[in-house]
Structure 1
């Protein structure tokens, strides 16, 4: 019979301890405390062996023991450790463990940490499951919690990620509202003011993607009123050129404006994708002239 690994031996000890009946003189909370410690040791031992699923499972068992002892902070920590192990190839389990962590943190009023974990959930949905809808919801929730805790810059980064996803999901009004919210915040500080023109560019592109040149025009006016320097930026000039092309139904003129902008400021994937959507819209719209 092959000998058991140290991790497996510890796990067996933990299982035995957790399922043992409590004697006359020991309380069940002592039993679960000791079992929790053993599960934690087993989990760390599995990590050494690079058995991440087994490590995550052992941390999850530890978390359940901590919950039995009403140790909310330790339980939150154990669930987080489980999530870190599950992240190595088991995204669905990682999300479940992080969700448990968030429950404990919000119940304990630790919203800053809860926001950190909720943001992690959003990143897993985005990178591993490509679930844009759920990722967007997590980023917005994290943003709200950061905002409550006065972590404004971090909140805005989450809202901006959510706005990008709203646009990817073709929920343009929600995207525009988020970009404008983040831009208004950014205007209040000399440190963040430089990023405003990018948020407004994204908002403007979202309006054009709705084939709504009237709103796009009105919004451009509004942004120039909020910040007098905006109308002289390359972003504002680019939006004006795109607007003109869209109104004229001229796809070639549109492409020319895109190429010219891209030569100086490289377009990222998000902008490239939305510009392609806008261009398709122009090609499909019968010209009004």
Structure 2
């Protein structure tokens, strides 16, 4: 069947469904409201499927919404139709997608489908992140993490907490203490399992950089030393050596050494976006030392990476 035929079939079923949903005097006399709405729901669902085949995602989403409305009217379970609507709107209408996703998350939670609610909440967080709405993305990742924790899905919760902390760094007003706490929460979980301990090094590095960005070199050194007791190999790791060299550069107020250290590290192990952003703030703590700090005071610094060449 061609696209035009799918569209025609969808429109016909939608028209029939609308008539069923509205009803008439005689149908009210000879048929129950529940029966009419069940028939309308089935027709709306057929219309939705045809609209999908015709690639008419906006209309398909609307039809699934109407299916959900019919379910509500008959005390049915609308959650699946809401989820289907969410999937359609996600392709074409971001505002409607976010609205329907909130409804779906609430319904899934009420039905005890917490893992599904968490997955959808994480999708919403990713959506905000893709739109560069980092402040809202931070909130959504935190909510997703908490939902995963309710189901003891620690691994997924940790992923969300890491994303939350990473995006905190991208905000115009950075709460470094909160980012440190969030990284530390995940590090503690990683250290409980041998298989995850190696993943903790990168988070400790970001945690120490947050201390430095907050102009707390003592805190950074203490965290470094404490973790070195937990993981004796940390000091000789690339992350550990980088931090040690950065500490020395900061103590000496040596910007050239700071940038050379970063250049050498970045040449072999490219720095991640959030790491470069933290380092912008670390560089700012050196203050007024000439061209080497040309990002200091740049209002757009949070969207740029520093030049370590």
TM > 0.5 fold call: yes
- Which of 98, 104, 110 is equivalent to 1:101? 104
Determine if the alignment matches structure 1 residue 200 to structure 2 residue 215: no
SS at match of 1:191: helix
Deviations 1:177-225 (A, max 9, x none): 1111111111111221220101111111222221221221222122223
Determine the structure 2 residue equivalent to 1:257: 261
Q: Give deviations 1:55-77, integer Å, cap 9, x for gaps.
A: 111111211222222223xx111
> Given the alignment of the two structures, is residue 125 of structure 1 paired with residue 128 of structure 2, yes or no?
yes
- Which moves more between the two structures, 196-205 or 27-36? 27-36
Distance 1:153 1:172 in 2: 24
Q: Would you say the 8 A contact 1:209–1:278 is kept in 2?
A: yes
5+ residue gaps, structure 2? 291-309
Distance 1:108 1:246 in 2: 54
Distance 2:162 2:229 in 1: 22
Q: Which residue of 1 aligns with 2:284?
A: 280
Offset, 1:139: 0.9
Once residues 97 and 212 of structure 2 are traced to their aligned partners in structure 1, the CA distance between those partners, rounded to angstroms, is: 38
Displacement of 1:15: 1.5
User: How does 1:164-243 map onto structure 2 within 5 Å?
Assistant: 164-169=166-171, 170-243=174-247
Match of 1:64 among 64, 69, 76: 69
In structure 1, the partner of 2:47 is 42
> Per-residue deviation at 1:246?
2.2
- The DSSP-based 3-state class of the residue aligned with 1:87 is helix
Query: Mind listing any 5+ residue stretches in structure 1 that lack a counterpart?
Result: none
SS in 2 for 1:159: helix
Give the whole-Å Cα distance in 1 for the aligned partners of 2:69 and 2:208: 49
1:285 to partner: Cα distance: 7.7
For 2:267 and 2:289, locate their aligned partners in 1 and report how far apart those are by CA, in whole Å. 28
1:23 aligns with 2:28: yes
- C-alpha change, 1:164 and 1:13, in structure 2 (3 Å) is same
TM-score normalized with structure 1 length: 0.91
In 1, the alpha carbon distance for the partners of 2:36 and 2:219 equals 65
Instruction: Report the Cα distance in structure 2 between the residues aligned to 1:16 and 1:281, rounded to whole angstroms.
Output: 69
Residue matched to 2:161? 159
Query: Aligned match of 1:88 in 72, 79, 91?
Result: 91
Question: d(CA) in 1 for partners of 2:211 and 2:87?
Answer: 39
Please state how far the C-alpha of 1:27 moved relative to its aligned partner. Answer: 3.0
Distance of aligned partners of 1:31 and 1:253 in 2 relative to their CA distance in 1, 3 Å threshold: same
SS in 2 for 1:168: coil
- The offset of 1:85, in angstroms, is 0.9
- Determine if contact 2:167/2:274 at 8 Å carries over to the other structure: no
